[in-house]
């Protein structure tokens, strides 16, 4: 078992990583102040882990809230069902909400915690690789809008993040690969040596090697914790964590939420960010291909959807959260391991990136 710390002064909290942590009651109880607990999960995760978590909460009054699974349900209607359950069971301001599931569950449970009676405690127990290395850490919560992903929400930090690596043994291969997109992101934006480690270990990660998974999660969470500790509300360096996300969110919105998994869209979006970085002369073609090959080896798409035109991307990107004063800001790479957030790029470079043919990159041999 390993523990990291997100350093936010009085609101600092631990990230605990290890196997079978769901069964260790004391890891939860030390962060619960009242007697009421609501477990927010979904109908895929609940049959696997809900009863185990409830056993670890013996002595508390527990209200399970089981949501429908999938990004398509990350909306006001589903959020309202959480509030309905809390109110029906008469949860008060001392209640604790526990998010048991992937990124959608974590985002919605966190937003409910931020809003219910103007704020109650919550704990993240992420069960997908993507949520373990990214969305459970940092306090971003929210829901989607038909016009844009994650456009309604709040910054609201958990009391703790409990990462049980054993939950990944029940994760479908496609979901595991989607999580690897966010793992690879950390190497690209701030830790080039981590890229080399991932190139050596990507096959072990896809084979669910517990030692490799634990190390990848630890290094990813450590990177996220450093960035969040320096810039909690994304006024500066934290925005670099969105590498590939502006293009990726456009893909998710245009295709329909849930058609492409978040990590799949981020992967294709990252390839587009790499292409634009190369066109600006910041990275070489060899560096670009190195990153694309790693994404492909992780089982991820490296070509944007064939049914999306440049106009489609521009329409959705215009409502991205990184647009300020009408100017689109993008996360690009100065080099592998160094990201920047910039709006200082020629319009024609963006348009040529959106119109580029990515098939040749996808067909290049993996290294």
Residues 120, 144 contacting (CB under 8 angstroms): no
Q: Which of 118, 327, 347, 348 is catalytic?
A: 118
Q: Which of 71, 73, 175, 182 is catalytic?
A: 182
232 is catalytic: no
Q: Strands of 13-18's sheet, edge to edge?
A: 2-6, 13-18, 160-164, 121-126, 96-101, 36-42, 61-67
Element (H, E) at 87: helix 76-88
Q: Which of 219, 249, 297, 316 is catalytic?
A: 249
Task: Give DSSP secondary structure letters for 213-272.
Answer: HHHHHHHHHHHHHHHHHH-TTSSSGGGGGGTTHHHHHHHHHHH-BTTB-HHHHHHHHHHH
Task: Give the three-state DSSP class for 204.
Answer: helix
Gap between the Cα atoms of 21 and 9, Å rounded: 26
Q: Which of 73, 74, 91, 140 is catalytic?
A: 140
Q: Which of 175, 234, 264, 275 is catalytic?
A: 234
234 is catalytic: yes
Give which of 36, 1, 233, 39 is closest to 123, Cα–Cα.
39
182 is catalytic: yes
Q: Which of 91, 149, 219, 262 is catalytic?
A: 262
Handedness of CA 268, 151, 174, 227 (dihedral sign): positive
* Exposure string over 251-262, b if 16+ CB within 10 A, otherwise e: bbbbbebbebbb
Q: Which of 149, 185, 245, 279 is catalytic?
A: 245
Q: Which of 73, 91, 149, 238 is catalytic?
A: 238
Gap between the Cα atoms of 182 and 189, Å rounded: 11
Gap between the Cα atoms of 128 and 167, Å rounded: 7
149 is catalytic: no
Geometric angle at alpha carbon 227, from 225 and 231, rounded to 5°: 115
Bridge partners, 331 (sequence order): 341
Give which of 100, 109, 241, 257 is closest to 181, Cα–Cα.
241
145 is catalytic: no
321 is catalytic: no
245 is catalytic: yes
118 is catalytic: yes
Q: Which of 73, 224, 254, 322 is catalytic?
A: 224
Gap between the Cα atoms of 181 and 266, Å rounded: 7
Active site residues: 118, 140, 182, 224, 234, 238, 242, 245, 249, 262
């Amino acid at each position: 078992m390993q523990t990291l710390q997100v350093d936010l002064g009085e609101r600092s909290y631990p990230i605990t990583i290890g196997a079978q942590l769901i069964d260790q009651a004391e890891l939860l109880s030390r962060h619960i102040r009242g007697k009421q607990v609501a477990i927010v999960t979904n109908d895929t995760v609940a049959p696997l882990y809900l009863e185990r978590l409830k056993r670890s909460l013996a002595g508390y009054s527990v209200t399970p809230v089981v949501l429908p699974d999938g990004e398509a349900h990350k909306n006001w209607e589903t959020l309202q069902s959480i509030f309905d359950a809390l109110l029906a069971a008469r949860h008060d301001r001392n209640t604790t909400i526990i998010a048991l599931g992937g990124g959608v569950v974590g985002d919605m449970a966190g937003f409910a915690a931020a809003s219910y009676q103007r704020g109650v405690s919550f704990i993240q127990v992420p069960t997908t690789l993507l949520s373990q290395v990214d969305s459970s850490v940092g306090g971003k919560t929210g829901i989607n809008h038909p016009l844009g992903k994650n456009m309604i929400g709040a910054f609201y930090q958990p009391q703790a993040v409990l990462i049980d690596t054993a939950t990944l043994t029940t994760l479908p291969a496609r979901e595991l690969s989607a999580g690897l997109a966010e793992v690879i992101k950390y190497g690209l934006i701030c830790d080039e040596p981590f890229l080399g480690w991932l190139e050596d270990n990507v096959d072990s990660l896809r084979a669910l090697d517990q030692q490799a998974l634990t190390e990848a999660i630890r290094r990813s969470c450590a990177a996220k914790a450093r960035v969040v500790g320096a810039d909690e509300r994304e006024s500066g360096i934290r925005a670099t964590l969105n590498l590939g996300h502006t293009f990726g969110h456009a893909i998710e919105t245009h295709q329909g939420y849930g058609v492409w998994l978040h990590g799949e869209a981020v992967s294709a979006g990252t390839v587009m960010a790499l292409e634009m970085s190369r066109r600006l002369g910041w990275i070489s073609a060899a560096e670009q291909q190195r990153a694309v090959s790693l994404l492909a080896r992780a089982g991820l798409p490296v070509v944007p959807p064939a049914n999306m035109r440049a106009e489609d991307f521009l329409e959705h990107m215009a409502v991205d959260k990184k647009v300020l004063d009408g100017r689109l800001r993008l996360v690009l790479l100065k080099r592998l391991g160094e990201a920047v957030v910039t709006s200082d790029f020629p319009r024609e470079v963006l348009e040529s990136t959106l119109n580029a043919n990515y098939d040749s990159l996808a067909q290049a041999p993996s290294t």
